[in-house]
Amino acid sequence: MATAAPNDPGLPQDGLPDTPESVVVRFAGDSGDGMQLTGGQFTLSTALAGNDLATFPDFPAEIRAPQGTLFGVSAFQINFGSREINTAGDAPDVLVAMNPAALKVNLAALKPGGLIIADTGAFTKRNLEKAKYAANPLEDGSLGKFDVLAFDISEKTIEAVKPYGLGNKDALRSKNMWTLGLALWMFDRPRDPIHDWLKSKFKSKPEIADANIAALDAGHAYGETAELAGPLKQVHIDPVPSEPGLYRTVTGAEAVSLGLVAGAQLAELPMFFGGYPITPASAILHHLARLKEYDVTTFQAEDEIAAVCAAIGASYAGSLGVTSSSGPGIALKTEAIGLGIMTELPLVIVNSQRGGPSTGLPTKTEQSDLYQAVYGRNGDAPMPVIAASSPSDAFDVAIEACRIAVQYMTPVMLLTDGYIANAAEPWKVPDPASYTPFPASFLTEKNAQDDDGEGVFLPYKRDDKGARPWVKPGTPGLMHRIGGIEKHELTGNIDYSPDNHQRMTDLRKGKVEGIAVPDQEVCLGNTSGKLAVVGWGSTYGPIHRAVDNARRKGLDVSHIHVRHIWPMPANLGELLHGFEHVLVPEMNTGQFKTVLRDQFLVDATPLTKISGQPFQIAELEEAIGKYFDGVEGNEGGQVLVNDDQLPHLEAGHDDGSLNDTASPQSQEHGS
Amino acid sequence: MNAPVKIETTLKDWETDQEVRWCPGCGDYAILKAVQRTLPQLGADPANTVFISGIGCSSRFPYYVESYGFHTIHGRAPAFATGAKLANPDLDIWLVTGDGDGLSIGGNHLMHVLRRNVNMQIMLFNNEIYGLTKGQASPTSREGTKSPSTPIGSYDHPARPAAFALGAGARFVGRGFDVSKHLPDVLKAAHAHQGAAFIEIFQNCIVYNKDVFNDFAAPKGAEDQQLWLENGKPMLFAKESKGIALNRDTLSLEVVDVVDGDWEAAGVIVHDVTNRSIAHMLVEMPFGPFPMALGVLYDDPKPTFEAAALAEKAAASEGKEANLAKLLGKGQTWTVDGTAQDPV
Ligand SMILES: Cc1ncc(C[n+]2csc(CCOP(=O)(O)OP(=O)(O)O)c2C)c(N)n1
Ligand code: SF4
Ligand SMILES: [Mg+2]
């Protein structure tokens, strides 16, 4: 039996080992403290050191939260290691708390025995009051189960930048760089790339660049001197061997946007994107609005209905129509999606799922729109549905959505969620030339002949894929009318006759069911055996790691992750029947489980979590363990579960009125 | 946008092989004919002409015009048309909507297509009733309208389509009625207008709201109640025996008698289609004390939405190379051997 990873949650330990396999660090501070920037730069240095990593930002729901308050806390978590990293991490090993509110909000997540680095300079009476602390937690012994490293970062920063003649307020803006310097030292990272970055960022203000560099260096130097006493020590994490090439970090929202651009190019079509702001989908509209040179037209509509209708109108006119929203907006789009199915026009609908029903939990993640995607329309309205499993996977999935939409003349729904949209991970930058193009073709001539050999145009005559021809208005001689009323099998003229409706329903269903979907592969483990853990969407990370951990313990468990939710891969049923048990973890009450049971009569067991937070690896390991009770060395549930993990924010918010997550740029002043 | 090439067609060229399914005597027939008569006069190209509609009796219109046509969903036609126009600004788009389609379920979209000023002709067939769903009161039904859903009489205040349009920012507001011989002229003016051109067309629903416009639209004898507006001409009606004057004390319009054709003496104002203040008064002018204002009430073009969108796209793309490989490699990048890449 393999031993548990040394830093597995729930295995209390004293401080970090010298060479841990992976470490989770959370930077937390006031939204003005520049934590997203700190996290971003730390991420870059981690990537340069060759570690695998995953990150998750957690910024306040409020747009301009008052300084020092609980709901103004902004955090950035990074999980990095010498082993493949699949999630932003269960519980942090290290919490950097730049003020009392940051400590209060994030403490519950910290691993027992974890390290707290706190800036005593920010633990003033006023800030303690704002964080609703009766006594200073750094002094009252309440942090007994953690290692605490508390010192006056504010003062040390002011001291370090003194030569640059900044006022106190400006000087304190470099606090985050001081902290970053310390973190760089802790994990044995070079400072040069950050120096370079600061120099280029503040090209026009060299004194600010110098002050920040001085703060960074001072933080780094502090680590070296402080190591001699106290809990601070340097740890080393080996690089993960990975393919050579150019890498970048990418969030799901970026990857979807880039994938859509790539998809439109592969289809050789201009893209029309119709959107209406909603968390967490707005980021896609924002990204695409800046990519006009890629023949992208973005349209901020008056509501989600107009957004999807405009996208369908654009597809009708010969563009690739795309729209995006989250649950409540997708609900509004539903009737129009039905028209897209009826008129058989290409359309990509991106649903960045969030907690529901209704306004629900706008800034939290959930997978509860699966029924809505697969079944949620009036009439028999089949529509392909595919799901992204991680931020970088969203790129390929977006291309796949475009391909299906164009080749099969159909709306396609792409499911992502709040976690995927905001989380970042390293991504080996793909070569666009490595993707097979799927150029759209437009009919320009009559496609049939009547009995006298005269050319006729049949707008609903299908090709071998079951797709009808795409005809751009403006094409001479092919004028025709389409609409939502049932239409004749070939001419597309209104036809209510019973036989025709039966046939058209069958044709629409057959077309979607006949979509070429690659066979399902097992992403970890054997193709048959005791237990298959079957996931879809953003549960990929925690499932993968949990199954990997279980397999290292010798358990016969496999991970199957389904991208094509509808239609499903042809071999999936047979594959699932090869396992004694099928466990389906989902961030909903068991929606995919229902689809699997319905399609394959398989005894799929749900494992559900609807807390607005992703699964923890430990939770999944525990659930897997239960299937192996009686296996020596593994009594089910051996792994302790820590309830807290990212994204997590204790402070109350998300009333829906001010729910839009501001970008890190607008939240943070940077340094 | 290319200058449209004029095409020679006849009325027949604009007829489809589809059986027209409106009730016999429905005003929609007359409007269809007026449109089919107008299109050849415009030199319109059937291949480049698109009729987009919502849902209602009126919205069946596209099926009967031999051009491109899209019968969409209830109330949303303006949004489909906006997307189509942005995707291909060269298309000549006619929107067909009803009083329920355009002002009830689709009021929001109608407002936005007008304020954005997307170049198209918007024909709102106002029969003051929901025809297709069998005669319920609509947002334009007059107070007291008895219908299956308002058996004792409606009590909500009616919307005024032309006032709504102008209030929403329309740069062209026209009015006509189904059987009027002047309707093609209004349609032509709307088509000539670059931008969203709104035309309210009173339409007789012979089954559910018969003859409600007869006071000014009856085939015979109602002419005196029609004020046909012409740019640069005095606002005269009732065989030029009456006119519309501006009361400068109350800043409102009033009806004045014209004696011996001396309209100037009577203070009758000259119609200026670009005068937005007077346009506001004309769309609000209550029928009864006043005649029905018809023709082109307002016409003052402004740059169109699609032109602005095209210009922005061109400006944003200028000097930029659309290199996808480069785009993908932007941002925080590194190579695995550990060398930092400058963010591209
Ligand atoms: C979403 C939706 N709601 C309701 C209807 C039913 N419906 C069809 S047409 C119509 C009203 C049409 O009235 P109007 O726009 O005035 O058109 P008319 O038939 O009078 O020309 C209604 C309520 C529908 N088709 N779709
Ligand atoms: S119900 Fe009224 S509007 Fe509809 S077709 Fe009949 S007469 Fe015309
Ligand atoms: Mg009506």
Per CB-CB distance under 8 Å, the chain B contacts of A272 are 83, 86-87
Which of A201-215, B38-52, B229-243, B278-292 shows the lowest mean pLDDT across its residues? A201-215
Looking at residue A13, its amino acid is Q
- Looking at all shown ligands, the one closest to residue B27's CA atom is 2
What pLDDT is recorded for position A637?
Answer: 41
Interchain pair B69, A247: CB under 8 A: no
Interchain pair B108, A299: CB under 8 A: no
What pLDDT is recorded for position A229?
Answer: 61
What pLDDT is recorded for position A242?
Answer: 80
Q: What is the mean pLDDT of residues B284-311?
A: 98
Split at pLDDT 50, 70, 90, the class of A654 is very low
What pLDDT is recorded for position A18?
Answer: 76
Q: What is the mean pLDDT of residues B269-284?
A: 98
Q: Which residues are CB-contacts of A536 (< 8 A; sequence separation ≥ 6)? A: A367, A370, A387, A389, A415, A561, A562, A563, A565, A586, A592
Q: Does the structure show a pLDDT above 80 at B64?
A: yes
Nearest-by-Cβ selection for A293 from B78, B320, B341: B320
Q: What is the mean pLDDT of residues A24-53?
A: 91
Q: Does the structure show a pLDDT above 70 at A372?
A: yes
B interface test, pick of A41, A240, A297, A309 with most B CB neighbours within 10 Å? A309
Model confidence pLDDT, tens digit, residues B187-240: 999 999 999 999 999 999 999 999 999 999 998 899 999 999 999 999 999 999
Mean pLDDT of chain A: 89
CB of A244 within 8 Å of a chain B CB? The answer is: yes
Taking the centre of ligand 2 as the mean of its atom positions, its distance from the CA of residue B49, in whole angstroms, is 25
Split at pLDDT 50, 70, 90, the class of B270 is very high
Mean pLDDT of chain B: 95
For residue A414, the cross-strand partners are: A350, A386
Which of A130-139, A220-229, A388-397, B308-317 shows the lowest mean pLDDT across its residues? A220-229
Mutation choice for ligand 1 from B95, B132, B207, CB with most ligand atoms inside 8 A: B132
Q: Report how far residue B298's alpha carbon sits from residue A131's, in angstroms, rounded to the nearest whole number.
A: 61
- Number of helical H runs and strand E runs in chain B: 11, 12
CA B124 to mean position of chain CA atoms: 6
What pLDDT is recorded for position A227?
Answer: 67
B interface test, pick of A203, A248, A271, A345 with most B CB neighbours within 10 Å? A248
Binding pocket residue ranges, ligand 1, CB within 6 Å: B 55-58, 74, 98-101, 125, 127, 129-133, 138
Backbone torsions φ then ψ of B284, nearest 5 degrees: -90, -10
Taking the centre of ligand 1 as the mean of its atom positions, its distance from the CA of residue B124, in whole angstroms, is 13
CB atoms within 10 A of CB A444: 13
Mutation choice for ligand 1 from B109, B124, B130, B209, CB with most ligand atoms inside 8 A: B130
Interchain pair B340, A48: CB under 8 A: yes
Split at pLDDT 50, 70, 90, the class of A169 is confident
CB of A454 within 8 Å of a chain B CB? The answer is: no
Give the containing element (helix H, strand E) for A641: none
Taking the centre of ligand 1 as the mean of its atom positions, its distance from the CA of residue A275, in whole angstroms, is 26
Provide, rounded to the nearest whole percent, the portion of chain B with pLDDT above 90: 93
Report the nearest atom of ligand 1 relative to the CA of B101: 15
CB of A51 within 8 Å of a chain B CB? The answer is: no
What pLDDT is recorded for position B3?
Answer: 66
Interchain pair A479, B309: CB under 8 A: no
Interchain pair B76, A309: CB under 8 A: yes
What pLDDT is recorded for position A232?
Answer: 74
The fold of B11-218 is Rossmann fold (3.40.50)
What pLDDT is recorded for position A647?
Answer: 36
A interface test, pick of B65, B76, B110, B132 with most A CB neighbours within 10 Å? B76
CB atoms within 10 A of CB A585: 26
Per CB-CB distance under 8 Å, the chain A contacts of B19 are none
B interface test, pick of A292, A332, A456 with most B CB neighbours within 10 Å? A292
Torsion of CA B312, A422, A36, A612, to 10 degrees: 140
Q: Does the structure show a pLDDT above 80 at A44?
A: yes
Mutation choice for ligand 2 from B22, B179, B204, B210, CB with most ligand atoms inside 8 A: B22
Q: Which residues are CB-contacts of A346 (< 8 A; sequence separation ≥ 6)? A: A315, A320, A321, A405, A406, A409, A410, A411, A440, A470
What pLDDT is recorded for position A59?
Answer: 74
Question: Which residue is associated with the tokens 């089949």?
Answer: A382
Split at pLDDT 50, 70, 90, the class of A231 is low
Model confidence pLDDT, tens digit, residues A249-279: 999 999 999 999 999 999 999 999 999 999 8
DSSP string covering B18-63, please?
SPP-SPTT-HHHHHHHHHHHHHHHHT--GGGEEEEE-SSSGGGGGG
What pLDDT is recorded for position A364?
Answer: 87
Taking the centre of ligand 1 as the mean of its atom positions, its distance from the CA of residue B200, in whole angstroms, is 18
Q: How far is CA A143 from CA A46, A107, A110, A150, B105, in A?
A: 29, 9, 11, 11, 59
CB atoms within 10 A of CB A521: 12
Interchain pair A317, B73: CB under 8 A: no
Interchain pair B72, A339: CB under 8 A: yes
CB atoms within 10 A of CB A332: 16
Nearest-by-Cβ selection for A309 from B80, B321, B324: B80
- Looking at all shown ligands, the one closest to residue B104's CA atom is 1
Q: What is the mean pLDDT of residues A277-284?
A: 94
DSSP string covering A219-247, please?
HHHHHHHHTTSSS------PPPP---SEE
DSSP string covering B217-248, please?
H-TTT-GGGEEEE-TTSB-EETTTTEEEEEET
Q: Report how far residue A160's alpha carbon sits from residue A171's, in angstroms, rounded to the nearest whole number.
A: 9
Model confidence pLDDT, tens digit, residues B134-164: 999 999 999 999 999 999 999 999 999 999 9
Split at pLDDT 50, 70, 90, the class of A356 is very high
Strands A448-449 and A455-456 turn out to be antiparallel
Which of A556, A559, A568, A553 is closest to A540 using CA atoms?
A559
What pLDDT is recorded for position B341?
Answer: 47
Nearest-by-Cβ selection for A305 from B55, B76, B83: B76
Query: B132: exposed, middle or buried (C-beta count within 10 Å: 0-12, 13-18, 19+)?
Result: middle
Q: Does the structure show a pLDDT above 50 at A397?
A: yes
Distance from CA of A532 to the nearest CA of B (A): 34
Model confidence pLDDT, tens digit, residues A538-574: 999 999 999 999 999 999 999 999 999 999 999 999 9
Between positions 400 and 439 of A, the ones with CB within 8 A of B are 429-433
CB of A100 within 8 Å of a chain B CB? The answer is: no
Interchain pair B83, A299: CB under 8 A: yes
Q: Does the structure show a pLDDT above 50 at B18?
A: yes
Output A196 or B116, whichever has higher pLDDT. Answer: B116
Q: Does the structure show a pLDDT above 60 at B272?
A: yes
Residue A437 preceded by cis peptide, ω within 30: no
Model confidence pLDDT, tens digit, residues B238-258: 999 999 999 999 999 999 999
Taking the centre of ligand 3 as the mean of its atom positions, its distance from the CA of residue B214, in whole angstroms, is 17
Distance from CA of B73 to the nearest CA of A (A): 7
Split at pLDDT 50, 70, 90, the class of B122 is very high
Interchain pair B322, A293: CB under 8 A: yes
| Atom 1 of ligand 2, residue of closest alpha carbon | B131
Q: Does the structure show a pLDDT above 70 at A414?
A: yes
What pLDDT is recorded for position A651?
Answer: 30
Split at pLDDT 50, 70, 90, the class of B342 is very low
What pLDDT is recorded for position A646?
Answer: 37
Q: What is the mean pLDDT of residues B45-60?
A: 98
What pLDDT is recorded for position B337?
Answer: 72
Mutation choice for ligand 2 from B20, B21, B23, CB with most ligand atoms inside 8 A: B23
Interchain pair A429, B87: CB under 8 A: no
Which of A193-197, A466-470, B291-295 shows the lowest mean pLDDT across its residues? A193-197
CB A328 within 8 A of CB A278: yes
